[in-house]
Amino acid sequence: MKASCSAFTLSDPKNRLCPWSFLIAASLLCGAYLAGNALIAQENKERLARWRLIYSMQSYACQSQCRPSGSEALPEGIVARTSDLEMRPLWDSGVPKVSKSSLNLLAIPVGIKQKEIVNKIVEKFPSSDFVVMLFHYDGAVDAWRDLAWSDYAIHVSAINQTKWWFAKRFLHPDIVTEYNYIFLWDEDLGVENFDPKKYLSIVKEEGLEISQPALDSKLNVHNALTARIRGSKVHRRYYKLKGSGICDEHSTAPPCTGWVEMMAPVFSKKAWQCVWHLIQNDLIHAWGLDRQLGYCAQGDRMRNVGIVDEQYIVHLGLPTLGGSSNSSRDHSRAKVRDQSVREMKIFEKRWKGAAEKDECWIDPYR
């Protein structure tokens, strides 16, 4: 029987080849292992470089996404950026839904003393085209329940707060994005000669982003620009050629043109997205705001802001916020007026400071 390598002797020349064969095989294996490792290391290095490139590109793309603050921990597709004021049933009611493309919003601050007037206003706005939202500044919400439309309206209550306080907190652009036009009206308006659908037809035809119905009575018309011009459909400026505050064809600023009063403004969706940001959180009487609304007109304020004469209203000028008796009410209204004047000065100072500080902003009306 032939001797195996496990029993070799050094005196046998043939047996001396076994350890050398083993060493050569081991070397080849080690070389192959090292070469394979080098190739794998190089491949891993290239793969890692590709991953880093992809990650950096993905990171750059993700950084360029405009994510709402606070949503960074969520996948982008699950983020609900907008909402609306539509009330949802607890179960499927079977009632066909109104197309959101046809909806607009009527928002009014209300007190129970003006219930009859407000009822007349709301009844002018067809429920098929308008969502109604009431801001109750006296807390008397339940007293409106007997009206046919009350259960379908949105009711918000906060004691002795103004229209602009409510609007800043409850009419965020992401909430009212479904509505084409926002009517932000006072409660003391006579609407006998007003048709909302005809009004919006004129607004769209004329390209008005910010508008208001003309005022038909000289009573409670605080600025001549808002007074109705008989026989006219729409006007955008008025003329005053004598005395102080001249308004002529060369005038380019409020209150000669590009201006509406604050008791019955109507905003397009795009205009409101701008106006909401313009409303100051703490300046709740909004004096001075009207002179800057033209910056939100989505273009030339002399063209896109106007007064609609064909559909007009009457400003009744009724006392709303304030005391119940004549003396306390008069005292309260005087204090409100003083506060309004102070807020107007604060707003004007803020605007001037913001305009000077923002190096990237260009004033188109400078």
For 185-224, write each residue's pLDDT tens digit. 999 999 999 999 999 999 999 999 999 999 997 777 888 9
73-92: b or e for each residue (b if 16 or more CB lie within 10 Å)?
eeeeeeeeeeeebeeeeeee
Structure tokens at 151: 């259960």
Give the pLDDT of residue 275. Answer: 98
Give the pLDDT of residue 68. Answer: 80
132-150, pLDDT tens digit by residue?
A: 999 999 999 999 999 999 9
Residue 100's pLDDT band, with cuts at 50, 70 and 90, is: low
Report the predicted TM-score, pTM, of the whole model to 2 decimal places.
0.79
Give the pLDDT of residue 258. Answer: 96
Residue 39's pLDDT band, with cuts at 50, 70 and 90, is: low
Q: Compute the mean pLDDT over every residue in the chain, rounded to the nearest whole number.
A: 86
Give the pLDDT of residue 317. Answer: 87
The pLDDT of residue 128 is above 50: yes
Structural domain boundaries in the chain:
100-320
Give the pLDDT of residue 62. Answer: 62
Residue 7's pLDDT band, with cuts at 50, 70 and 90, is: very low
Dihedral of the CA atoms 83, 88, 91, 97 (nearest 10)? -90
Residue 88's pLDDT band, with cuts at 50, 70 and 90, is: confident
The pLDDT of residue 99 is above 80: no
Structure tokens at 304: 């896109």
282-309: b or e for each residue (b if 16 or more CB lie within 10 Å)?
ebbbbbbbbbbbbbbbeeebbebbbbbb
Give the pLDDT of residue 320. Answer: 74
Indicate the CATH number for domain 100-320. Answer: 3.90.550.10
Dihedral of the CA atoms 192, 198, 204, 209 (nearest 10)? 10
Residue at 54: amino acid letter:
I
